[in-house]
Chain A
Amino acid sequence: GAVVSQHPSRVICKSGTSVKIECRSLDFQATTMFWYRQFPKQSLMLMATSNEGSKATYEQGVEKDKFLINHASLTLSTLTVTSAHPEDSSFYICSARGQAYEKLFFGSGTQLSVL
């Protein structure tokens, strides 16, 4: 089956630094990618939807200048958390969909801890 690879799986950074998370579709072309965040004991919250080659569509309340999303190719999307603060600490998950598939494939998630 299709595989989505997400890296890093865990990152610890200092407050004020930026962190980049990569999401790759390994064996299919991902026309659409989704980024979610999840706090402990809560459900996944959709942050943004990105289509290859176009700007991401952000959900209400998600700062686009804070969470930079780039989907420059059909196999790679990146989420950059800029000037991270402790309240940005969360579990970030990407998912991808290709033209040939109806379902989403999810990455394994990135646990971000901002000190």
Chain B
Amino acid sequence: DAKTTQPTSMDCAEGRAANLPCNHSTISGNEYVYWYRQIHSQGPQYIIHGLKNNETNEMASLIITEDRKSSTLILPHATLRDTAVYYCIVEVDNNDMRFGAGTRLTVKP
């Protein structure tokens, strides 16, 4: 019973920005939003996380709405190697990382 909803799948052209949305309308004030991705038959890879402010690192940017009920993960210049399942997770009780169904992103040449 994940607390997030994401589109099942998305396509993106290589070199373009990939914007992956996530709804977490029941998020509490002290719950972080995490993004992970999983490439086939591998363990999930951490991408980014945030609480209230927008965040950016070498992999991606995370935009969190002011009411914190949704967020968007942005991969600024998608490559073929970014094809993966992307999971948005809201942590419950500071120690409960449950995965939803995720978004299957396909980057196309």
Contact = CB atoms under 8 A, between A and B. Distances in A.
Contacts of B44: 44, 93, 95, 106
B10 interface: no
A43 B41 contact: no
Given A34-B97, A102-B32, A102-B49, A107 B102 contact: no
A49 B43 contact: no
Given A102-B49, A103-B34, A93 B97 contact: no
A43 B101 contact: yes
A6 to B, nearest CB: 7
Contacts of B96: 46, 49
Interface of A: 4, 6, 32, 34, 36, 43-46, 49, 91, 93, 95, 97, 102-109, 111
Q: Would you list the 8 A-B pairs with minimal beta carbon distance, nearest first?
A: A106-B43, A44-B99, A43-B99, A106-B44, A108-B43, A109-B43, A103-B46, A107-B43
